[in-house]
Structure 1
């Protein structure tokens, strides 16, 4: 009974994208591990960017820094 946890930042993952993740993860476990899709559980956990850190900074801080360092679009 596989349990798959997918964690993503809460930045607008659409319902369609979530369905694709669920189906794709299920298909992969069925294909690679020969598991029953009826007993394969997939959970998508959306984490606020304030609560996700990389290299000592929150993703919120990193995104803001990227925006400030990016030249204005023409």
Structure 2
């Protein structure tokens, strides 16, 4: 049972997230041969204030 965890900064539309789940599922099915019903995709959205690169929060850019 593949479990895919996608972490994103918030701001995508529901339609974009829906398409992401579909496309990731298809890619995992195609590349691993896993049954589509066994593939789990978890999306975790975070605020820009909660993510930093090189010591700088994304919200401070």
After TM superposition, where is structure 1 displaced by more than 6 Å over at least 4 residues in a row? none
- Say which SS state the counterpart of residue 44 (structure 1) adopts: strand
Q: Which runs of 5+ in 1 are unaligned?
A: 63-74
Question: If each structure's strand is expressed as a fraction of its own residues, which one has the higher value?
Answer: 2
Q: Which runs of 5+ in 2 are unaligned?
A: none
Larger Rg: 1
Number of residue-to-residue matches in the alignment: 61
- After TM superposition, the score normalised by the length of structure 2 is 0.95
CA distance in 2, matches of 1:3, 1:9: 20
CA distance in 1, matches of 2:40, 2:29: 12
- Say which SS state the counterpart of residue 16 (structure 2) adopts: helix
1:15-59 per-residue CA deviation (whole Å, 9 max, x = no partner) reads 110011100110000000001110100011001111100111000
Superposition CA RMSD, Å = 0.6
